[in-house]
Amino acid sequence: MTEIRDLDGLAEWTAASALYRAVFGYTGPEWGLSPRLLAALRQNSGTVVGAFEPDGTLVGFCYGFTAVEDGEIYHYSQAAVVAPGAQGGGIGRELKRAQAAAARRTGARSMRWTFDPYALRNAHFNLTVLGVTGIRFLPDHYGEAGTDRVLVSWRLTGDAPARTPGSVSVPAPAGDRIAAPEPADRLRLRRQLADRFAAGDRLTGVARVGGDPGRVAYTFENGAS
């Protein structure tokens, strides 16, 4: 049975750093994750949560920090990684839940993070499995082309607000894993998503259209509802 707990000590922080680079395929030194940063987060209202196999092998972890916007304290989840051989077994979901519990203890009322809106598996995990809401479109979020992200919010206190039926649906062609794989389709979808968020709508779902494997629809609800 997988154990979910805070990472503690240099050996575990170093293992997390190595797993981070391995999962994302990072090779350059500029993409490294410092074990000392994880130590500082652990000691200063951040989160550094790991998933361990029974033999003690680290197979996943997530980390984040306390943040504030317009006086609202929230927890920002910077990254969550799961080893390839352990993916699909619910570890990512359990890591997020453990991180949410830790965030509540800091006084955070919600948790935020970003995801690639064109990666369909990530969209399903975030919007359907976890039930988060997309609140903002961030074009070229990391300062380079191809890094569009959607900022999501996950309520940590009280009951989750009821979702209203989607009032706007944005369709797009799709492959097995990626929405709008062709450049022209991607540009069109990018503009439509940006327009919907600019209008104040919130992203609540991404799903295949009528079971058609070649089409998906991004579902929005009105932000004023």
> What pLDDT sits at residue 157?
86
Rounded to whole angstroms, the Cα distance separating 134 from 153 reads 6
- Give, as one character, the DSSP assignment of residue 220: E
Show the domains of the chain with their CATH numbers.
1-108 (3.40.630.30), 110-225 (no CATH)
What residues are paired with 169 via a beta bridge? 219
The string of pLDDT tens digits covering residues 42-58 is 999 999 999 999 999 99
pTM above 0.85, yes or no: yes
Average confidence (pLDDT) over 76-80: 97
Closest by alpha carbon to 123, among 204, 69, 20? 204
> What pLDDT sits at residue 220?
96
The string of pLDDT tens digits covering residues 124-151 is 999 999 999 999 999 999 999 999 999 9
Crossing angle (nearest 10°) for helices 10-24 and 35-43: 120
Contact 214, 120 (CB under 8 A): no
pLDDT interval class at 225 (50, 70, 90): very low
Q: Which amino acid is at 159?
A: D
Classify each residue of 30-64 as buried b or exposed e, where b means 16 or more C-beta atoms within 10 Å of its C-beta: eeebebebbbebbeebbbbbbbbbeeeebbbbbbb
- Give, as one character, the DSSP assignment of residue 212: E
As a whole-number percent, the residues of the chain with pLDDT over 70 amount to 96
Rounded to whole angstroms, the Cα distance separating 223 from 168 reads 11
> What pLDDT sits at residue 162?
61
pLDDT interval class at 165 (50, 70, 90): low
Distances in Å between the Cα of 111 and the Cα atoms of 38, 73, 164, 179, 206 are 18, 9, 21, 26, 21
Average confidence (pLDDT) over 65-81: 95
